[in-house]
Amino acid sequence: MRAFTFEKAASPAQAVAAAARTPGARFIAGGTNLLDLMKLEIETPTHLIDVNGLGFDKVESSADGGLRIGALVRNTDLAAHERVRRDYGVLARALLAGASAQLRNKATTAGNLLQRTRCPYFYDTNQACNKRQPGSGCAALGGFSRGHAVLGASEACIATHPSDMAVALRVLDADVETLRPDGSRRTIPIADFHRLPGDTPQTETALQPGELITSVRLPAPVEGRHVYRKVRDRASYAFALVSVAAIVRRDGSGRVALGGVAPKPWRVDAAERELPRGARAAAAALLAGARPTGQNAFKLTLVERTLDAALTDART
């Protein structure tokens, strides 16, 4: 791990000001992903700004009947929150499917959204990776690609986004609220928060330098049965090969988003129009334009089967 300086921010304004004046600064809360990357010298911040004391650790009802989740709310606390369990069950289920209990106790809402890919070539500093070193190439393209993206990838990167929580937030139409170094605030729809790799896979989110996530806002609850299904290689501490977040109404209509198949949570309007016709029709729309490798083409079938299982769960 490389040397760095450290400070505890006393206010949100102080935190973003420190980030703006210090090139290479990073915010840190739970640190469950950032610290691992620092140990491997994949992330090399020159300065860490501890934001744990900023008070963004509450879950509060909003005037429109929705919910505002502080950026520092721990995953365990969010999954156990009474309103989340009652009104946003897909989110509670997705959180409980992620990582391990120990990590959920530390991981924060904002950190979960910002976690970086678990592509093995990203983690191996001897391998080419455009996310880690722009312009170096993508070793995954000609390497072991079983867990990689079949949708939304590019010639520069075929990594997937690892978050379970983000898939649930996508199906719930969440917004990400932020504070910028100039003191202005903005709201980023979750659909626009994570970026596809294109030619710049190192730019993973819509955040600007020094911009701090303050909260995630959920709209009023969506009617229907909330389901989260995750297929992985082992039952705990494993990332999704395919996951499905779905909200299904009695008439078969609803919403659906996929994880484990793209560089961001994957949701397609056309697929939701096909939901009443069943998993096969909806999966075909979700997978339109898919470009699997020889090693991960099984994900196409797995998407349909996992979606069918999720729809069956919703009907029972």
pLDDT surpassing 90 at residue 235: no
Tokens of 307: 């979606």
What element of type H or E holds 281? helix 279-286
**310: pLDDT confidence band, cut at 50, 70 and 90?**
very high
Residue 235, classed as helix, strand or coil, is coil
Neighbours of 75 (CB within 10 A): 26
8 A C-beta contact, residue 255 and residue 246 = yes
Quote the pLDDT of residue 205.
98
Quote the pLDDT of residue 237.
81
**How are strands ordered across the β-sheet holding 242-248?**
225-231, 242-248, 254-259
Neighbours of 85 (CB within 10 A): 15
pLDDT surpassing 90 at residue 316: no
**94: pLDDT confidence band, cut at 50, 70 and 90?**
very high
Is the Cα dihedral 91, 203, 159, 102 positive or negative? negative
Q: Which residues lie closer than 8 Å to 236 by C-beta, 6 or more apart?
A: 100
Amino acid at 224: G
pLDDT, average across residues 114-137: 98
**1: pLDDT confidence band, cut at 50, 70 and 90?**
confident
What residues are paired with 225 via a beta bridge? 248
8 A C-beta contact, residue 159 and residue 239 = no
pTM of the model: 0.97
Only one residue has tokens 């995953």, namely 75
**236: pLDDT confidence band, cut at 50, 70 and 90?**
confident
